[in-house]
Amino acid sequence: MPASRRVAFAERLEAGPLLWDGAMGTQLYERSGLQANRCLEELNVLDPELVKSVHLDYIRAGAQVIETNTFGANSLRLAAYGLADKVVEINRAGVEIARAAQTLTGQSVWIAGAVGPLGQGLAPLGSVEQAQARQAFAEQVRALSDAGVDLLTLETFTDLREIQEAISACREVCDLPLVAHITFVGDGSGASGDGPEEAVKALADLDVEAIGLNCSVGSERMLRAVESVSETTYVPISAQPNAGFPTYQGGRLMYLSSPEYVAQYARKMVEAGATLVGGCCGTSPEHIAAIRDALVGVQRRGARMTSRPPPKGARLRAAPQRAAEPTNLSKKLGSGFVVTVEVDPPKGFDVAPVLEALRPLRESGLVDAINVADSPRAQSRMSALATASIIQSRLGLETIMHVALRHRNLVALHSDLMGAHALGLRNVFAVMGDLPSTGDFPSATSVSDITASGSIRMIKALNSGVDLTGRPIEQATTFNVGCAFGIGAAEMDREIRILEKKIAAGADFVLTQPVFSAETVEAARSRLGGFPVPLLMGVLPLRSSRHAEFLHNEVPGISVPDEIREKLRVAGDDAAQVGIDLGRELLDEVSGIVDGVYFMPQFGRYDTVLDILSGSKVMADRSRNGEAMAQ
């Protein structure tokens, strides 16, 4: 029997517009004089005749679908009134009242079991865990199904994750027709940031008979929403707006849109592609009667459902954008020796000196990408996002944008990542960043919203088309994500555990702290049993004995071997050349071990990078291999 209901409901939707009823809550308040803090669902038990009178008036007004008075009849909402143990009783009573009203009128109407959100939100943004939500929804849906509803309607959900849990619970319990409604606010987005288009895209692939938009906005904005989504899916669209925006008059919440106005727009919604229409807050039997009259003879524009509905998964969608190509860096990693060079953003807004200094690197053809540091040493500088965008667009050199997690909360992190991707910055390096207390603003707070491995997981989720909360985004990103590794750390066991978490989260490549001996790399590789993803070894060209001593004794995480510091001390004025020679030797020693190098030239001396590269054996081999491939 339940399976045949789904077939029958789908066939009814093909036949033409289906008129839903209007508001239940505002009608009960208006007819009873109840205070707003009362549990309306309890009226199913305390005053069933009052509830039945609302159903009767809607059926007489022409409603072809009536909703049970069970919107908030889940255990979590009922618990606020001490009624958590009354879920089955209240839901069963709601169905029996609606069925009694149908019997009294003798009309053939569909009885929809109404299911609303839990009212507390899903973790991590709310207090309800996923398993708890699924259980609460399943308990209510089972009660409605057992009581004999014809279909189920999920309505006024603001969180896509929560309505997806509700849909899953419905399908675990029964196989009734299902209409899934989500609500959005005046700016056209859901309360959790999802717009109508995102809601439709997210729900279209789920096992539902219709996708609904309801509540929060009036008829004009609901029409806009229907127009924007009606061509994106074969799944029928339901539209149930409020009777305008509410206002207080005489101590009561009033909705001012007239029945005629609401009916006029309901007709336009059907013409725009809606299949199910009705009303939400503030609408009355008078509104539904006006819609009934307005729908006489209306034709849907380009009806989406055909006489032979396409199979599940073959629904019409807006044409997807072509997937972006992998970044040049991701193509080269693992297939050749990669060279990147770090640059600090300017302290002002003039990027010209930085561009001029980097131009020889681009012209050399030896450098594959530019690392753009993010507020290094917690100094006040131009943003890494802006600097990287300028370098990439004006110099044509691909960049790796560093993202310092201590300097931005989750909201800012998400915004910056979206902005970076829109600007074509798709290589990112997630790093905790320097403590603000050590920089130009020592009173600034350090943010601890997310760890490095957590941020990598977040970025990988964006690549899968969802944000950190699990909500779908407009289009999946294509970030290439790097992470840091303290390759010579004193507490190596701890450093390896952290690296393993980053790799498990989805890191695509690794950048190390500065290395001064091949033995350090060999020891780390041995401990790891090989590097699990491409690794770029950090190279910091040494300029003098004083420079080496400073790094060794004052900079955390950097250890310059005794013999190297001694060579620089003995070299005296020739120390800079010794530093270049040591850099070349190191590159050649690790050429078969690592996938490339990540230069961190001090004092803006990018010429040192070219001096090291131009005389190294590994770069000569790379050049010969490139020529051979070209031939």
Q: Which residues pair with 539 in a beta bridge?
A: 599
Whole-angstrom Cα distance, residue 27 to residue 52?
A: 11
The H helix count followed by the E strand count for the chain is 24, 18
Residue of 200 and 455 predicted with greater confidence: 455
Whether residue 63 is predicted with pLDDT greater than 50 in this model: the reply is yes
**How many CB atoms lie under 10 A from the CB of residue 302?**
9
**Which of 429, 425, 434 shows the shortest CA–CA distance to 397?**
425
8-state DSSP, 443: T
pLDDT mean over 600-607 = 91
Residues 116 and 156 sit within 8 Å (Cβ to Cβ): yes
Residues 67 and 153 sit within 8 Å (Cβ to Cβ): yes
- Could you give all domains of the chain from N- to C-terminal order, each with its CATH number? 2-294 (3.20.20.330), 328-542+595-607 (3.20.20.220)
Whole-angstrom Cα distance, residue 154 to residue 204?
A: 14
pLDDT confidence bin for 323, thresholds 50/70/90? very low
Q: What is the pLDDT of residue 216?
A: 74
Chain segment 486-507, per-residue pLDDT in tens? 998 888 999 999 999 999 999 9
Chain CA centroid to CA 442, Å: 33
pLDDT mean over 472-486 = 91
**How many CB atoms lie under 10 A from the CB of residue 554?**
8
Nearest-10 Cα torsion for 477, 478, 484, 487: 150
Whole-angstrom Cα distance, residue 138 to residue 446?
A: 42
Whether residue 414 is predicted with pLDDT greater than 60 in this model: the reply is yes
Q: What is the pLDDT of residue 316?
A: 32
Amino acid present at 621? D
Q: Which residues pair with 463 in a beta bridge?
A: none
Strands 252-255 and 535-539: unpaired
Residue of 302 and 252 predicted with greater confidence: 252
pLDDT confidence bin for 252, thresholds 50/70/90? low
Residues 564 and 575 sit within 8 Å (Cβ to Cβ): no
Whole-angstrom Cα distance, residue 274 to residue 280?
A: 16
Residue where the block lists tokens 């409604």: 181
Three-class DSSP category at 110: strand
Residues 555 and 627 sit within 8 Å (Cβ to Cβ): no
Q: What is the pLDDT of residue 35?
A: 65
Which of 164-178, 215-229, 240-254 has the highest average model confidence (pLDDT)?
Answer: 164-178
Q: What is the pLDDT of residue 470?
A: 66
Residue of 238 and 314 predicted with greater confidence: 238
**Which of 348, 329, 341, 351 shows the shortest CA–CA distance to 424?**
329
Phi, psi angle pair for 325, to nearest 5° = -70, 150
Burial class (CB in 10 A: 0-12, 13-18, 19+), 322: exposed
Residue where the block lists tokens 């994750």: 161
Q: What is the pLDDT of residue 228?
A: 84
pLDDT mean over 296-318 = 47
Residues 546 and 560 sit within 8 Å (Cβ to Cβ): no
Residues 72 and 43 sit within 8 Å (Cβ to Cβ): no
Whether residue 350 is predicted with pLDDT greater than 70 in this model: the reply is yes
Chain segment 498-546, per-residue pLDDT in tens? 999 999 999 999 999 999 999 999 999 999 999 999 999 999 999 999 9
Residues 479 and 485 sit within 8 Å (Cβ to Cβ): no
Residues 250 and 217 sit within 8 Å (Cβ to Cβ): no
Residues 471 and 161 sit within 8 Å (Cβ to Cβ): yes
Whether residue 191 is predicted with pLDDT greater than 70 in this model: the reply is no
Helix (H) or strand (E) holding 431: strand 427-431
**Which of 73, 72, 69, 66 shows the shortest CA–CA distance to 22?**
66
Chain segment 1-51, per-residue pLDDT in tens? 344 789 999 999 988 999 999 999 989 988 887 766 789 999 999 999 999
pLDDT confidence bin for 372, thresholds 50/70/90? very high
Angle between helices 48-61 and 87-105 (to 10 degrees): 40
Which of 80-94, 291-305, 438-452, 604-618 has the highest average model confidence (pLDDT)?
Answer: 80-94
Whole-angstrom Cα distance, residue 207 to residue 146?
A: 20
Which of 98-107, 185-194, 223-232 has the highest average model confidence (pLDDT)?
Answer: 98-107
Q: What is the pLDDT of residue 581?
A: 94
Helix (H) or strand (E) holding 513: strand 509-514
Whole-angstrom Cα distance, residue 332 to residue 78?
A: 58
Phi, psi angle pair for 338, to nearest 5° = -100, 145
If you compute the radius of gyration of the chain from its CA atoms, what whole number of angstroms results? 32
Percent of the chain with pLDDT over 70: 89
Residue where the block lists tokens 């859901």: 190
Phi, psi angle pair for 342, to nearest 5° = -90, 140
What is the dihedral sign for C-alpha 527, 530, 535, 541? positive
Give ∠ CA 87-88-94 in degrees, rounded to 5: 90
SS (H, E, C) 600-611: CCHHHCHHHHHH
Three-class DSSP category at 238: strand
Chain segment 544-583, per-residue pLDDT in tens? 999 999 888 888 878 899 999 999 999 999 999 999 999 9
Q: What is the pLDDT of residue 4?
A: 77
- Residues with Cβ within 8 Å of 538's Cβ and at least 6 positions away in sequence, in order, are 487, 511, 512, 513, 514, 515, 597, 598, 600
Q: What is the pTM of this model?
A: 0.54
Q: What is the pLDDT of residue 592?
A: 87
Chain segment 102-150, per-residue pLDDT in tens? 999 888 999 999 999 998 877 665 678 889 999 999 999 999 999 999 9
**Residue 402: CA count within 13 A, CB half-sphere:** 26
Whether residue 318 is predicted with pLDDT greater than 50 in this model: the reply is no
Average pLDDT for the chain: 87
Residues 351 and 385 sit within 8 Å (Cβ to Cβ): no
pLDDT confidence bin for 195, thresholds 50/70/90? low
What is the dihedral sign for C-alpha 592, 596, 602, 607? positive
Whether residue 306 is predicted with pLDDT greater than 60 in this model: the reply is no
Whole-angstrom Cα distance, residue 25 to residue 289?
A: 18
Q: What is the pLDDT of residue 249?
A: 58
Whole-angstrom Cα distance, residue 184 to residue 161?
A: 15
Helix (H) or strand (E) holding 484: strand 480-485
Residues 22 and 114 sit within 8 Å (Cβ to Cβ): no
Output 132-135 pairs: Cβ under 8 A, ≥24 positions apart.
132/76, 133/162, 133/165, 133/166, 133/169, 134/165, 134/168, 134/169, 134/172, 135/169
**How many CB atoms lie under 10 A from the CB of residue 202?**
23
